[in-house]
Amino acid sequence: MESLAELEVLNQLAAGRGKRAPVALRINPNVDAHTHHYITTGLNENKFGINEQDLPAALRMIAGSGHINLIGIHFHIGSQITDLSSFEDLCVKVLELREWFHTQGIALPVINVGGGLGINYQHPNHCPVADFESYFRLFEKYLKLEEEQTLHFELGRSVVAPCGSLITRVVYLKEGIQKKFLIVDAGMTDLIRPALYQAFHHIENISSERPYTRYDVVGPICESSDVFAQDFLLNESQRGDLIAIRSAGAYGETMASTYNCREIPASRFSDNI
Ligand SMILES: Cc1ncc(COP(=O)(O)O)c(C=O)c1O
């Protein structure tokens, strides 16, 4: 639950069904994730989570609600976090807040630290697996659990992003004044991260072993931001070549849209690598 207003709605819904809803409060810990500001979610200026100063009011509301069962606290400070010290800061904050809940006479069986672990978008072939080892070791070291307390994670990107590529075909090559544009048939509607966050995705021509040359790899949509990469070194490419835009297994298809009358891209799954 992210806000007092949501708690009220949930209480009403649970009351209507004659049930008690188990709830973890999502708290905004004011911890900087040191990632792109569009995917930073745990600072006071962000819209997510209940601010610390509103916690007493949330507890009063829950105490008087009748249909809400507080079982834990929840955090999610952001995404694509590669500076693991942000998670260390989160652990310090979680322990501080757990102590505060104790002073209110509340035990918390569930602690949920959200997701956020980043991946290496630059080198998907050399670093195909996120640094899960350091990540989990950090929580083990800094977040000592109490008896009967369980720690929950909600990792998304780190698990699935490296497993998917957006495969697209070169429609044609356009010689600009200073640049060569490689126009492909995928666009920002299929993978919006570069247009939305200026995100980097590694790109490969999987049809060509010709010498390398630099291209702006762009989509066919009538938007100047419909660009996957600028001045990117690719094997010389031509109409019909297949291009793989890597690390698209997370926040690709899920953020796809039908803008400009485009279709949602088809997904194909395979166990072969
Ligand atoms: C509440 C919450 N938990 C977990 C995640 C997954 O984050 P990530 O993919 O960075 O691991 C998100 C992503 O938006 C989220 O909003």
Q: What is the DSSP secondary-structure string of 196-218? A: HH-----EEESS--SPEEEEEEE
Domain residue ranges of the chain, discontinuous segments joined by +: 4-161, 164-255
For residue 263, give the H/E element and its range.
none
Q: Which long-range contacts (CB under 8 A, 24 or more apart) does 140-149 make?
A: 142/88, 142/91, 142/92, 142/95, 143/91, 143/94, 143/95, 143/111, 143/113, 144/95, 145/111, 146/98, 146/107, 148/109, 149/108, 149/109, 149/110, 149/111
Question: Is the shortest distance between the CB of 93 and ligand 1 below 6 Å?
Answer: no
For a ligand 1 pocket test, name from 25, 75, 76, 153 the mutation site with the most ligand atoms within 8 angstroms of its C-beta: 76
Find the mean pLDDT for residues 93-100: 97
Q: What is the pLDDT of residues 197-206, one digit of tens each?
A: 999 999 999 9
Token readout for 82 is: 């590669």
pTM over 0.85: yes
- Judge whether residue 1 has pLDDT over 80: no
Residue bearing the bigger pLDDT, 41 or 17 = 17
- Phi first, then psi: what are they for 156, rounded to 5°? -120, -75
Round to whole Å and give the CA distance between 33 and 180. 36
In this prediction, residue 98 carries a pLDDT of: 97
Question: Is the shortest distance between the CB of 79 and ligand 1 below 6 Å?
Answer: yes
In this prediction, residue 273 carries a pLDDT of: 65
CATH architecture observed for domain 164-255: Beta Barrel (2.40)
For a ligand 1 pocket test, name from 75, 83, 154, 254 the mutation site with the most ligand atoms within 8 angstroms of its C-beta: 154
Residue bearing the bigger pLDDT, 45 or 141 = 141
Find the mean pLDDT for residues 122-129: 96
Token readout for 36 is: 């792109």
Distance of CA 202 to the CA centre of its chain: 18
- Judge whether residue 236 has pLDDT over 70: yes
Domains 4-161 and 164-255 share a fold: no
In this prediction, residue 232 carries a pLDDT of: 98
CA proximity to 248, closest of 204, 182, 207: 204
Question: Is the shortest distance between the CB of 115 and ligand 1 below 6 Å?
Answer: yes
- Judge whether residue 159 has pLDDT over 80: yes
How far is ligand 1, taken at its centre, from the CA of residue 80, in Å? 9
Question: Is the shortest distance between the CB of 118 and ligand 1 below 6 Å?
Answer: no
Q: What percent of the chain has pLDDT over 70?
A: 100
Question: Is the shortest distance between the CB of 154 and ligand 1 below 6 Å?
Answer: yes
Residue bearing the bigger pLDDT, 35 or 256 = 256
Average pLDDT of the chain? 95
Q: What is the pLDDT of residues 142-153, one digit of tens each?
A: 999 999 999 999
Question: Is the shortest distance between the CB of 74 and ligand 1 below 6 Å?
Answer: no
How far is ligand 1, taken at its centre, from the CA of residue 76, in Å? 7
How far is ligand 1, taken at its centre, from the CA of residue 268, in Å? 24
User: Given the CA of residue 80, which atom of ligand 1 is nearest to it?
Assistant: 10
Find the Cα–Cα–Cα–Cα dihedral 32, 194, 250, 23, rounded to 10°: 40
Question: Is the shortest distance between the CB of 116 and ligand 1 below 6 Å?
Answer: yes
Round to whole Å and give the CA distance between 67 and 16. 10
Cα maximum dimension of the chain: 70
Question: Is the shortest distance between the CB of 157 and ligand 1 below 6 Å?
Answer: yes
Reported CATH class of domain 4-161: alpha beta
Among 28-32, 234-238, 256-260, whose mean pLDDT is lowest? 28-32
Question: Is the shortest distance between the CB of 78 and ligand 1 below 6 Å?
Answer: no
CA proximity to 222, closest of 252, 186, 256, 260: 260
How far is ligand 1, taken at its centre, from the CA of residue 113, in Å? 10
Distances (CA, A) of 128 to 53, 119, 131, 132, 161: 41, 8, 10, 12, 10
User: Given the CA of residue 78, which atom of ligand 1 is nearest to it?
Assistant: 10
Radius of gyration of the chain (CA): 23
User: Given the CA of residue 161, which atom of ligand 1 is nearest to it?
Assistant: 9
